[in-house]
Amino acid sequence: MARTLIKSGTVVSATGRSANDVLIDGETIAAVGAPGYFAGAEANADKVIDAFGKYVIPGGIDVHTHMELPFGGTFASDTFETGSRAAAWGGVTTMIDFAVQRTGEDVNAGLAEWHRKAEGECAIDYAFHMIIGGVDDEALKSMRYLTEHEGVTSFKLFMAYPGVLYSDDGQILRAMQTAADCGAMIMMHAENGIAIDVLVAQALARGETDPRYHSLTRPSQLEAEATHRAIVLADVAGDVPLYIVHMSAGDALEHVAEARSAGRNVFAETCPQYLWLTLEETLARPGFEGAKWVCSTPIRSANDRHPHRKDLWRGLRTNDLAIVSTDHCPFCMKDQKELGVGDFSKIPNGIGGVEHRMELIYQGVVAGELTLERWVETCCTTPARMFGMYPRKGVIAAGSDGDVVVWDPNRQTKIGIEDKHHMNMDYSAYEGFVIDGKVDTVISRGTVLVEDDTYTGTKGHGRFLERGLSQYLL
Ligand code: DUC
Ligand code: ZN
Ligand code: ZN
């Protein structure tokens, strides 16, 4: 088995940084030692990576992706092959995708379908959450089965999308009670979809059909209300662990902060699009261009009643937001986003970003919003702990998988379809962004996937991970 020595770098963890060398033996980290400690081993190493002046961090973990998701009359445009390769380019070595059960369908069949899509296709390790789009007796039984036997320990419910993936409060409560009973995590898309559908119909009747109305018909109060309702229902269900996905609103975050101060098992994530983009710069562009940024929850106005972006950065510092994921759900403009020309409600919801999360959040470090350690914690370590993969993933320590990223703070990353873009999308949501810092080397279980701006990974290297229960509970 190959031995790789990463020497002379600064190893950054969730709790500190230090000059250390890292020895990977086969697929796992053999040891972390003071600089020069492995001088003897160097001669025996098959590969030596000089990380002088660079950061050495655990491989990124994106806990929210949708490869090939059927949505809005089409499919998310990245396959497991293209999406996982793009993830590797961006310093991500583990992703958790969402398998889907729709009303009336069998949960186990939905999971089997996702296994078929992913198996043998991925460049990086992967796991699944399960979307329960039709809570009934059978689905509840399957939740327990998946938790106990399939390594799928988290279940996403939707308070949005009535008639599609929506669960009513009674269904949500029942699913939460089941999860509480078997130790699973409930993940929630928290938007009041019934009220949103009324606002959408009213806007269309007024002739307001442009992409900007996607955001304006999903006001932050309706994210805040649903977040609060989910928190109350989770309390009634015995403080089941509750994880609010893709939080975009400062007023929703207030409810999470309040629950957390009361010692509740309530957690939340946000995504780069909510930290960096505004409605004015994106959805409100002339003509149909704004469709590029139609996603739910929506990108919010800089002039809204809450300073959402400021609130979200603060939430990341205070741990009211524990994780940054991407909600990677790409659609091309051609033939996909175009389905909504003349009617914003028909634009497939989603933004691709799996390739850019590590760099976009590192830019938060450069901007003074986060520390280096908090970057690692929110993008690598807490994702592993929250979703039952620690310490195999999320940390550079003896015995952990050899998933390591060498990060060069002295180079720059230019984002765009011409400059750097490996996702299967015909545009970039971050076109023209220039980031201080760049992925240098990406290693997954001891195998180099990216080096010298070249991809050396292979499809099928990535393995399915059976996850345990959350290791992050209060
Ligand atoms: N939000 C999106 O933007 N896309 C897919 C599903 C979702 O909840
Ligand atoms: Zn969602
Ligand atoms: Zn999603």
**Cα separation, 266 vs 245, whole angstroms:** 11
Per DSSP, the residues of 55-106 read: EEEEPEEEEEE-TT-EETTEE-S--HHHHHHHHHHTTEEEEEEEEEEETTS-
pLDDT at position 418 is 82
What is the distance in A from the centroid of ligand 1 to the CA of 350? 5
Which amino acid, 69?
L
Reduce the DSSP state of residue 395 to 3 states and report it.
coil
Nearest one of 67, 69, 72 to 336, comparing CA atoms: 72
CA-CA-CA-CA torsion sign (220, 223, 229, 232): negative
Distance 434 CA to ligand 1 centre (A): 26
**Burial 101-121, CB ≥16 within 10 A → b, else e:** beeeeebbebbebbeebbeeb
The reply to whether the predicted model has a pTM over 0.85 is yes
> What is the Cα 379 distance to its own chain's centre?
9
d(CA 141, CA 146): 9
Mutate to test the pocket of ligand 1, among 282, 349, 425 (most ligand atoms within 8 A of CB): 349
**12 C-alpha to center of ligand 2: Å?**
31
Residues at CB less than 6 angstroms from ligand 1:
66, 71, 189, 295-296, 327, 329, 349-350
154 within 8 A of 182, measured Cβ to Cβ: no
Measured CA distances, 349 to 124, 161, 322, 330, 336 (Å): 25, 11, 24, 9, 10
Q: Are strands 434-444 and 404-414 parallel, antiparallel or unpaired?
A: antiparallel
SS3 147: helix
For the CA of 273, the nearest ligand: 1
Candidate from 64, 68, 269, 295 with most ligand 1 atoms within 8 A of CB, to mutate: 295
Residues 427, 256: Cα–Cα separation, whole Å: 34
| Nearest ligand 1 atom to alpha carbon 189 | 8
**Protein residue whose Cα sits closest to atom 8 of ligand 1:** 296
Element (H, E) at 410: strand 404-414
Whether residue 216 contacts residue 204, with contact meaning beta carbons closer than 8 Å, is answered with: no
Smallest-distance ligand from the CA of 97: 3
Nearest-angstrom CA–CA distance, 79 and 117: 8
Which ligand lies nearest the alpha carbon of 190? Answer: 2
8-state DSSP, 349 = P
Residue to mutate, 296, 345, 425, ligand 1, most ligand atoms under 8 Å from C-beta: 296
- Which positions ≥6 away from 460 have C-beta within 8 Å? 120, 121, 122
Q: What is the pLDDT along the chain (474 residues), one digit of tens a residue?
A: 699 999 999 999 999 999 999 999 999 999 999 998 988 877 789 999 999 999 999 999 999 999 999 999 999 999 999 999 999 999 999 999 999 999 999 999 999 999 999 999 999 999 999 999 999 999 999 999 999 999 999 999 999 999 999 999 999 999 999 999 999 999 999 999 999 999 999 999 999 999 999 999 999 999 999 999 999 999 999 999 999 999 999 999 999 999 999 999 999 999 999 999 999 999 999 999 999 999 999 999 999 999 999 999 999 999 999 999 999 999 999 999 999 999 999 999 999 999 999 999 999 999 999 999 999 999 999 999 999 999 999 999 999 999 999 999 999 999 999 876 899 999 999 999 999 999 999 999 999 999 999 999 999 999 999 999 999 998
* 76 burial level (CB within 10 Å; 0-12, 13-18, 19+): buried
Q: What angle do CA 46, 47, 52 make, to 5 degrees?
A: 150
* Token pair of 385 as six digits: 């702990």
pLDDT at residue number 39: 85
Nearest residue (by CA) to ligand 1, atom 1, is 296
Whole-number pLDDT of residue 41: 73
